[in-house]
Amino acid sequence: MGSQLLTALGALLIGGSVFPSFAVTENSSLLQGFTLQPGYTEIAQNLANALIEERPEVVLIDVRTPAEYRSGHISGALNIPLETLREHELLTAVPDVSTPIIVYCRSGRRSTDAGQLLVKNGYQYVMNAGGVITWQYGLTAGNEP
């Protein structure tokens, strides 16, 4: 009886009917049918990565401190710390409020605050990608985006 149970469990695990596939999804598949949602939204990091790679109009903003940014950031990200956003610095860096923006931080807490602040200040499409502690697509060290 025990061996039959193990055989059945093995068949389920190998057949993939118990666990979802962890296969990599192509960016084009992720973005097929994707439309920007007005206001603040939280998005999965694989979707954020696809947007960063495939949609050049998207502005990526790291809202951590400059020291955190230097230690490792997503390539192409501007470093505008949350405290600076509170002082309306983004208005000069990204003057067009219809520009799609992705924000992130270390864990997702500061990027949530930043995203909500940006929408409150008139930005129309703000997406929160969470934190770099779970980012699986590589980081760049240094001061350059």
Q: Which amino acid is at 75?
A: S
Q: Mean of the per-residue pLDDT values for the chain?
A: 85
Q: What pLDDT does residue 133 have?
A: 96
Global pTM reads: 0.81
CB 107 within 8 A of CB 131: yes
The DSSP code for 140 is B
Q: Tens digits of per-residue pLDDT, 61-111?
A: 999 999 999 999 999 999 999 999 988 777 788 999 999 999 999 999 999
Rounded Cα–Cα distance for residues 3 and 21 (Å): 26
- Structural domains in the chain plus CATH codes: 28-134 (3.40.250.10)
How many C-beta atoms lie closer than 10 Å to residue 84's C-beta? 16
The average pLDDT across 16-20 equals: 39
Q: How confident is the model at residue 26 (pLDDT cuts 50, 70, 90)?
A: confident
Q: Is the pLDDT of residue 51 over 70?
A: yes
Strand partners, 103: 61, 128
The average pLDDT across 125-135 equals: 97
Q: What pLDDT does residue 132 have?
A: 96
Instruction: Kindly list the catalytic residues.
Output: 105
